[in-house]
Chains A and B, each alone.
Chain A
Amino acid sequence: MSVQDFALAAEVAARRRWSATAALLALVVLLCVLSLGIGPVRLSPLAVIEALFGAGSDVAQVIVREIRLPRTILAFAIGGILGLSGAALQGLLRNPLASPSLFGAPQSAAFGAVLVIALGLADVRSYALPVVAIIAAFGSVFALLAIAGRNAGLLILILAGLAISSFAGAATALVMNLSSNPFVVLEIAFWLLGSLEDRSFQHVALALPFIIAGAAILLSHASAFRALTLGEEAAQSLGVDVARLRLLVITGVALGVGGAVAVTGTIGFIGLVAPHLMRPLIGHDPARLLVPSALTGAALLLAADIAVRIIPSTSDIKVGVLTSIIGVPFFLYLIMRERRALGGGVA
């Protein structure tokens, strides 16, 4: 094998990855346009594009740019950060079943947000909400990794994640239980289901800075995930500061998930599903999976949010309910596929 052969093999693989990523990007753009066109007033893709760029009727412009654009931006950003967080956690833990929702991060963030709402500590549109949600998400992922320890197997991670999400759920239930105002309880219950409805640019401003910060942290450490393919010890021997990386990934995931949950409630399983959909196309390199997983997450949430608007039903279906209804069977399928590793006790 010569230097040329080596370069050629790398280039062929790179070209395949690029075309997959480009196709994905096109799909995301298409879904954004569809998402902007769907609602009580249906707009054609052409009308949507016109309105976006300040042409077309005034009504269409108001609908697209002021009513629907925040919802679409949030679906894109939140789907994206959830997909990215899933891929980053899977890379950090070298584990295909890692994801924010299985580790109780969104549930914990939701508990933080619920606490703020129920105690009337702050207005629903203040920055207190995402900040407390982020702190709660950080606490949950940090606790999970501390409990599981270094080089934890699948079983320990899943069990610890189950315990933490159950605990966050119980804590949320306690807050609702103790709340004396039935309207607040009802509001919280609906909010927990996860929805992108009626979100404004204020919500975008609330979530986006944290999501962007989280994404920047996760993306800037991509290559360290590749070194971790060899395990923590070998990665450290190659010059990766594993302890620091752990802390940074937890921070990135907490910022993203906390910011997202604070404005939409819990939307689960996108982080688990997105990297899996990408592996057949992109390969298993955890560093290369980050961006495609983010795009897939964005596509999934955009599609789910379009679906809840066109599925005929008497009351609105919440998008968080839909992602879980689809995500949990997928999780069961993954368990079946990983059965051998799980049965062995350690992975």
Chain B
Amino acid sequence: MTLLTATALNASLGSRKVLHDVSLSLAAGHLVALVGPNGAGKTTLLRALAGLIASDGDIRIGGDALASLPLRERAKRFAYLPQGHMVHWPLPARDIVALGRYPHGATDPARLSPKDVEAVLRAMQAVDVEAFSDRRVTELSGGERSRVALARVLAVEAPVILADEPTASLDPRHQIDVMQKLRNVADTGVLVVVVTHDLGLAARFADHVLVLSEGRLAAQGAPDAALSEAVLASVFRVRAYRAEFQREAVIVPWADV
């Protein structure tokens, strides 16, 4: 079922045009990988979809035009995870996760309604962070912190999650762990869009891959079609080793073209 569509999306950063006529249609329950070389406009596309930057074109979420939705309503529909899991003050992990309820009017983590507390607990259970809910986020390891950030996004309980490089700077085990958790969330009917540089993770976990090149959609579709040899050569300028392992696609970029 189509949940999020964008038609003829154009966006600029300053005087530089970053997105050119991007049109896409994404379905609920899908994990969508957004890939592309550095500077292709992946983060800009994600921000435009969430309505965080101005863009021309029509974005529709569940039938409503994004432009017509007030800020609060947008916040309930899109949970956005920026790059880097930035947390500026050493707050306890629990308070950070509780910020996910902010769009629902729960602006004070000390005064959550039972419904909000349940949502926060569900989110913490889903990514396994209950054990350190009292610890300050700044004292957690990178892997733990990325899970807390993920829990904050899950606590919004939005129909769409937009995550910008959630696996960056994580070790292989935590990368797989985060992708698996996002996969589980998508399986509950949420649309999850993940920006990643890891084509292997994209091929393995995504239902749908968007390949962005110089601000244009160069390819999209099922992983093996969207990440075909021709696309890898023309967009990423690499050749890849391809195989299948435990019935999942394996793509390992190997050498330049």
Contacts and interface: CB of A to CB of B under 8 A. Distances in A.
Interface of A: 1-3, 6-7, 9-11, 13-14, 94-95, 223, 226-231, 233-234, 236-241, 283-287
Contacts of B71: 236, 239-241
B120 A234 contact: no
Given A1-B124, A236-B52, A238-B102, A287 B108 contact: yes
Contact of A1 (B79, B81, B130, B152): B130
Contacts of B50: 237
Contact of B91 (A2, A231, A285): A285
A155 to B, nearest CB: 16
B96 A230 contact: yes
Given A229-B88, A239-B103, A240-B71, 6 more contacts: A1-B124, A3-B117, A230-B152, A233-B47, A237-B78, A238-B103
B137 to A, nearest CB: 9
A10 B109 contact: yes
B41 to A, nearest CB: 16
B257 interface: no
Give the interface SS of chain A, mostly helix, strand, loop or mixed: helix
B75 A239 contact: yes
B139 interface: no
Contacts of A229: 87-89, 91, 96, 99
Contacts of A94: 88-89
B53 to A, nearest CB: 9
Given A237-B79, A284-B89, A9 B134 contact: yes
A283 B91 CA distance: 8
- Give the size category of B's interface with A: 35 or more
A9 B94 contact: yes
Interface string B71-91: 110111011111000111111
Given A7-B117, A223-B107, A226-B99, A231 B89 contact: no
Contact of A238 (B86, B87, B99): B99
A285 B88 CA distance: 10
Contacts of B118: 3
A230 B99 contact: yes
Interface in B113-143: 114, 117-118, 120-121, 124, 130, 133-134
A237 to B, nearest CB: 4
Contacts of B100: 238
Nearest to A236: B52
Given A13-B110, A226-B107, A233 B52 contact: yes
17 contacts: A1-B130, A6-B121, A7-B117, A13-B110, A14-B110, A223-B102, A226-B108, A229-B88, A229-B89, A233-B47, A236-B52, A237-B50, A237-B79, A238-B99, A239-B72, A241-B71, A284-B91
B113 to A, nearest CB: 11
A33 B61 CA distance: 60
Interface centre among A2, A226, A241 (most CB of B within 10 A): A226
Interface centre among A7, A228, A236 (most CB of B within 10 A): A236
Interface of B: 47, 50, 52, 71-72, 74-76, 78-82, 86-91, 94-96, 99-100, 102-103, 107-112, 114, 117-118, 120-121, 124, 130, 133-134, 152, 156
B95 A231 contact: no
A233 B103 CA distance: 14
Contacts of A285: 89, 91, 95
Nearest to A237: B80
Nearest to A238: B102
A17 to B, nearest CB: 8
B171 to A, nearest CB: 23
A95 B88 CA distance: 8
Contacts of B47: 233
A152 to B, nearest CB: 12
Given A14-B110, A241-B71, A227 B94 contact: no
Nearest to A7: B117
A237 B99 contact: no
A7 B79 CA distance: 25
Interface centre among A228, A238, A241, A284 (most CB of B within 10 A): A238
A177 B156 CA distance: 59
Contact of B86 (A9, A11, A231): A231
A2 B76 CA distance: 25
A101 to B, nearest CB: 22
